[in-house]
């Protein structure tokens, strides 16, 4: 029997959708067909609809869901403040959901999504594409084979230039739109403030804390999520610090028998410096990422060791040039069509927020 092609609605036509998801979904037409787009920007809708051949355009998710009987999967990549509302609405309408990270900005939001998932019986798949890269999975296997008792130290690093440096050279030729209705812009700001207060309480009055939470729930969610899968949840935060503008954060996590040092930041240097390196007794095992905004850049695994004859060895593994988004889509398709397990689930994603709270408490 021929495998079904899932009919998809994409909610939120911003930078991520225009540069990564919509182009990659078009290339994965054997799995997915985008049939509807939702955004508050008329310009973004018109541009994406014409560019990707999508005729059904909506300025609200409610309008889409009112006539979405043929849609199998809703992909939520709207502004972070709307992830919970859009995900739970799609679940109540009986749709499977892919939601970009951060799934939620607060534990209450994460719990609301999990409750809606359980009630609906549908798939919720959180978009941590780095965890589906083949090189990352090779590193995971190597670390597991080495044994946690042999880990001496872990370094997690994500210091990158602003996205615009890479987007401008991505080959996707995206446009930016600023024609969202003023009421929608104001409503988002109000919602953002409410969610911050729900997440960090009175600290939302401090602009530095607001910026810190924003960096943690955006870029840092990639790193913390991958770290969790590789070495588990930390016991505690030994110490944490940040730059005066909160664009750089440094954290030391305590694990049984070792520490993991984490550094994250955004600057104006056109370089994507992201990796996780695990130092074991006899090996150093590292996964290195490049920008996801340029399709096909390899994600590699590197293993440093000493051979039995005393030679130093540096082995670079490049399991595939297939990009992490495509590998992620393969698992998404398997989850929706074949009932395959979802490792990046709402409960898994919730643990990021637990760690972010640990970091905030240590600052």
Query: CATH number, domain at 267?
Result: 3.30.360.10
> Tell me, what's the pLDDT at 232?
97
Beta bridge partners of 221: none
Residue 45 pLDDT grade (very low, low, confident, very high; cuts 50, 70, 90): very high
Report the 10 Å Cβ neighbour count for 164. Answer: 12
- In a domain? residue 16: yes
Mean pLDDT value across the chain: 96
Both 319 and 224 in one domain: the answer is yes
Both 70 and 107 in one domain: the answer is yes
Both 62 and 169 in one domain: the answer is no
Quote the CA–CA distance of 15 and 163 in Å, as a whole number.
9
> Which of 98, 35, 39, 97 minimizes the C-alpha distance to 70?
35
> Tell me, what's the pLDDT at 170?
83
CA dihedral for 160, 162, 164, 168, sign (positive or negative): negative
**Structural tokens at position 43:** 């310009």
> Tell me, what's the pLDDT at 138?
97
Both 78 and 144 in one domain: the answer is no
Across residues 79-92, what is the average pLDDT?
Answer: 97
- In a domain? residue 192: no
Residue 1 predicted with pLDDT over 70: no
Query: CATH number, domain at 77?
Result: 3.40.50.720
Residue 2 pLDDT grade (very low, low, confident, very high; cuts 50, 70, 90): low
Quote the CA–CA distance of 31 and 28 in Å, as a whole number.
6
* Percent of the chain at pLDDT exceeding 70: 99
Both 68 and 214 in one domain: the answer is no
> Tell me, what's the pLDDT at 231?
98
Residue 86 pLDDT grade (very low, low, confident, very high; cuts 50, 70, 90): very high
Residues 336-360: tens digit of each pLDDT: 999 999 999 999 999 999 999 999 9
Domain count along the chain: 2
Across residues 168-186, what is the average pLDDT?
Answer: 89
Both 40 and 117 in one domain: the answer is yes
> Tell me, what's the pLDDT at 68?
87
Across residues 101-113, what is the average pLDDT?
Answer: 97
Across residues 201-212, what is the average pLDDT?
Answer: 95
Residues 6+ positions from 48 with CB-CB distance below 8 Å? 13, 17, 18, 22, 37, 39, 54
**Structural tokens at position 129:** 């594409």
Residues 307-330: tens digit of each pLDDT: 999 999 999 999 999 999 999 999
Both 115 and 57 in one domain: the answer is yes
Quote the CA–CA distance of 343 and 128 in Å, as a whole number.
10
Residue 125 predicted with pLDDT over 60: yes
Give, in order, the Cα–Cα distances in Å from 224 to each of 26, 113, 129, 209: 30, 20, 13, 18
Both 28 and 149 in one domain: the answer is no
Both 299 and 237 in one domain: the answer is yes
- In a domain? residue 201: no
> Tell me, what's the pLDDT at 172?
83
Residue for token pair 């924003």: 214
Beta bridge partners of 40: none
Expressed as residue numbers, the domain containing 160 is 131-173+206-326+350-362
Both 234 and 213 in one domain: the answer is yes
Both 143 and 115 in one domain: the answer is no
* Percent of the chain at pLDDT exceeding 90: 94
Both 149 and 126 in one domain: the answer is no
- In a domain? residue 137: yes
């Amino acid at each position: 029997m021929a495998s079904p092609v899932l009919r998809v609605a994409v909610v939120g036509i911003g930078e991520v959708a225009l540069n990564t998801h919509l182009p990659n979904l078009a290339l994965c037409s054997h799995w997915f067909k985008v049939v509807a787009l939702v955004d508050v920007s008329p310009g973004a809708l018109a541009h994406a609809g014409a560019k990707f051949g999508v005729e059904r355009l909506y300025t609200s998710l409610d309008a889409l869901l009112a006539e979405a009987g043929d849609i199998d999967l809703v992909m939520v990549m709207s502004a972070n403040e709307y992830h919970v509302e859009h995900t739970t609405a799609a679940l109540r309408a009986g749709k499977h959901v892919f939601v970009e990270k951060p799934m939620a900005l607060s534990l209450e939001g994460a719990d609301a999504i999990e409750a809606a998932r359980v009630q609906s019986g549908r798939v919720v798949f959180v978009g941590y594409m780095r965890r589906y890269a083949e090189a990352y999975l090779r590193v995971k296997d190597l670390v597991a084979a080495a044994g946690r008792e042999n880990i001496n130290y872990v370094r997690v690093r994500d210091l990158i230039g602003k996205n615009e440096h890479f987007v401008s050279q991505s080959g996707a030729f995206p446009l930016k739109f600023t024609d969202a209705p003023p009421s929608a812009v104001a409503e988002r700001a109000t919602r953002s403030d409410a969610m911050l207060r729900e997440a960090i309480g009175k600290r939302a009055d401090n602009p530095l804390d607001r910026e810190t939470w924003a960096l943690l729930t955006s870029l840092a969610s990639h790193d913390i999520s991958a770290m969790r899968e590789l070495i588990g949840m930390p016991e505690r935060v030994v110490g944490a610090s940040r730059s005066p503008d909160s664009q750089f954060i440094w954290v030391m996590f305590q694990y049984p028998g070792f520490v993991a040092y984490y550094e994250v930041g955004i600057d104006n240097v056109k370089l994507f410096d992201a990796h996780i390196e695990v130092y074991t007794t006899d090996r150093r095992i590292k996964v290195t990422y490049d920008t996801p905004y340029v399709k096909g850049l390899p994600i590699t695994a590197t293993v440093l060791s000493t051979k039995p004859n005393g030679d130093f060895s540096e082995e670079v593994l490049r399991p595939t040039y297939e990009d992490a988004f495509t590998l992620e889509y393969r698992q998404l398709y398997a989850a929706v069509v074949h009932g395959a397990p979802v490792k990046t689930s709402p409960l898994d994603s919730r643990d990021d927020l637990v760690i972010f709270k640990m970091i905030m408490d240590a600052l």
